[in-house]
Every structure is written in structure tokens, then in C-alpha cells.
Amino acid sequence: MQYIHYFHAFARNLFCTIVSPNILPSLMKQTSGQFDVEKYFLDILEKDDSLSSGIAAIKTLLMVLEKTKFDTVQELHSTIQAAVQTMRNTEKSITSVVSGSELFSRFITLAKFDDKTMDEVRLIMLARGKIFLDKLLEGRNVVAKQATNFIRDGCRILTHARSRTVRDTLILAAKMNKRFQVYCTQSYPDKQGEHMQRELEAEGIECTIILDSTVGYVMETVDLVFVGAEGVVESGGIINRVGTFTMAMCAREMKKPFYVLVESFKFSRLYPLNQRDLPNDYKYPKSSMSDTSKAHPLVDYTPPVYITLLFTDLGILTPSAVSDELIKLYL
């Protein structure tokens, strides 16, 4: 679904119209005092576990727009950048925070505002931002519908940690009366795989937890691998929970398809060549940043050569097609 092209056309026309504040539903009651970006961001994630950090970041930026008065566009831009930095300083995964925030800022500032007052500019940007968010919230369902076509009755699926997109895809396939078995890694050190197992079994899906170290042993018995991603880089490779790279290498060696299920707001303008090229604040928790020599990385980089296909809300892509989609997103 090439909705980003609709975004561009819409934005070019929208700046000519004064947006009525009546079409902007209040995201939160007005409160006195300075808006606490970090608290609002963390509260969103705590109250709605189905949301990724990237979506929570975009919701937070919408609230910043709604609650802050600006005298100039430059001041608005600086305020948004400061809010993004505040969210980056939390202990949450920042990969999708950065990519989602960049796309959000790009979309709401596509047109020129030379003939508008700052109040009009603010309302227009709020309207654009709400449309952008609504489209992104549809993305996971689009990905799930595409990926279920690759699940056959009786197949065995290996997945890693806890991807909400993979989870929703498997639940949708079960609701379509497809019968399959899932193996999920425990995912050290936070054991997200156990959370994934509970969620799948609650939906009647047979799910077995395996140790991260048994990926090679289990790989020869599975039919395909489904993983999510915290970020998709320009090369078509992915940043995801540590252990994904190992799983991808095993899959390639045993000739098993390795599929990535990911929304397009996680596309990032990074081009790492190896694990060391990933920024440290992507890899390590903030509490370990003072000395990363002994810190356990939270994510790793999987090069595009190990990825079979990426299921996205922009369509089913080969890794080599990602760079073209990134150009369109930031055109």
C-alpha cells in the first residue's frame, strides 16, 4: 500500500487550506505547566503494551504540537528535536523512535507556510500528524494479511523474542483456521519469548519455548522463520533483538526462508556494514553507556544477504528494494 504518495499529494494541497481546530480531537486534556515529554511517552507505553516505541514517540510529538505555542517554524523544529532527544534518553528501544520521528517531522513540514500565521501552521501540522498516525496504525494489519499467505497448514514456524507484528500475524492465521506450530526463542536477557508464548497460547496457538542456543538444533525441523525488526536500514538489512543475526545465518545455511515482518515507519537512514557500525545508543541500555566494554548488546545487525523477503505496509519487498522505498519516503 503506497500510502506515502497519498501523504505527499495531500500535504501539498493541505497547506493552501486553513484547518479548523474542530477537526482535531483532543489527545489529552489541557493541563497547566510545562509538558513532560518523558512522562507522557513512558505512560503511553505502560498503558498500551501493543504499541511500539516508534508509535508512542509519534503520539508524544503530536501532543507536543498540541500543547506548545510557537513563534517561528524554527522554534517548532527545535522543540520537536528536543522532544525526540528526551525520548532517546529513556531506557526504551530507540531505533524506531528515531526513524518514526524523522518521518513524522518530514511529513508535517512538507509544504511551505510563508503565507500562514503560526497558529494556522500549528493546526495544519496537527491535522497532518493525525493522518500520518492513523495510516501507521493500519500498517501492522496490512503486514499480517500479507504474511498469512505464507503460512500453510501443518507448518512449523520459528520466531525470535517478542515481535508484536509477528504475534498479530500468527493470531490472524489461527483465526483463519490455519493449523501450525510455533517455536519461540526465550531471548536472553529479558526473556521476551516467554511473554510471546503466553500471548500465543492464550489464542489457542501451540507454542514451544526454546533456548537461544538451540536455534541450530531446531532449525532443521522448521519450515520458515518469522522475525520482526526494530529498524530496517538502507542496505535492506535489519536491526533487531540480539540473536537475530545468528538465527538468520542458521536459516541460510539450512536453506530455510527468513522473513521479516515490519512497518515502514521503522525504515531508517543508516548504512551499517557490521555490528560495530551500529550506534552505541541503539545497542546498549542507557545505564551501561558509561562503560560498554562489558555491556550485553540488546540488538544486532542482520545483513540483507540473509533475508529472503520483508513484509511491509508498502508491499512485499526484497532487501534490495528497501533503498528505493527510503528515497520515496524522504523525497
Q: Is the pLDDT of residue 29 over 50?
A: no
- Best CA proximity match to 306, nearest among 231, 225, 241, 242: 225
Kindly compute the dihedral angle of the four CA atoms of residues 190, 196, 201, 207, in this order, to the nearest 10 degrees: -90
- In angstroms, the CA 36 to CA 100 distance is 20
Q: Which residues of 35-52 are buried (b: 16+ CB within 10 A; e: fewer)?
A: bebeebbbebbeeeeebb
Q: For 248-262, what is each residue's pLDDT tens digit?
A: 999 999 999 999 999
Q: With residue 188 as reference, give the H or E element that holds it.
A: none
Cβ-based neighbours of 248, under 8 Å, separated by 6 or more: 225, 227, 258, 302, 306, 307
Comparison of pLDDT for 304 and 65, the residue scoring more:
304
pLDDT in tens, 110-163: 766 667 788 888 888 888 899 999 999 999 999 999 999 999 999 999 999 999
SS3 at position 144? helix
Q: In the prediction, which pLDDT does 309 show?
A: 98
87 has pLDDT over 80? yes
Q: pLDDT tens digits for 319-330?
A: 999 999 998 887
Across the chain, mean pLDDT equals 87
* CATH number among 2.60.40.1890, 3.40.50.11260, 1.20.120.1070, 1.10.3720.10, domain 3-139: 1.20.120.1070
Fold of 142-329: Rossmann fold (3.40.50)
In this predicted structure, which of 7-11, 72-76, 144-148, 168-172 has the lowest mean pLDDT? 7-11
pLDDT for the residue numbered 115 = 73
Predicted confidence (pLDDT) at residue 12 exceeds the cutoff of 50: no
> Is 289 a residue whose pLDDT tops 90?
no
**φ, ψ at 68 (rounded to 5°):** -115, 135
Prior bond of 189 cis (ω within 30°): yes
Q: What is the Cα 25 distance to its own chain's centre? A: 25
E-assigned strands of the chain?
155-159, 180-185, 206-210, 224-227, 231-232, 238-241, 258-261, 299-302, 309-312, 315-317
Output the pLDDT for position 199. Answer: 96
| Residue 203: closest CA among 241, 229, 177 | 177
Rg (Cα) of the chain, in Å, rounded?
20
Q: Give the domain ranges of the chain.
A: 3-139, 142-329
Common-topology check for domains 3-139 and 142-329: no
Comparing 71 with 232, the larger pLDDT belongs to 232
Give mean pLDDT, residues 230-234.
Answer: 96
Tell me the pairing of strands 155-159 and 180-185: parallel
Round to whole Å and give the CA distance between 257 and 224: 5
Dist. CA 218–CA 256, nearest whole Å? 12
pLDDT tens digits for range 39-80: 999 999 999 988 999 999 999 999 998 888 878 878 888 888
pLDDT at 236 over 60: yes
pLDDT at 13 over 70: no
Tell me the C-alpha distance between 226 and 205, whole Å.
Answer: 15
Segment 208-234 shows an average pLDDT of 97
In this predicted structure, the answer to whether residue 239 has a pLDDT above a threshold of 50 is yes
The residue behind cell 518523558 is: 38
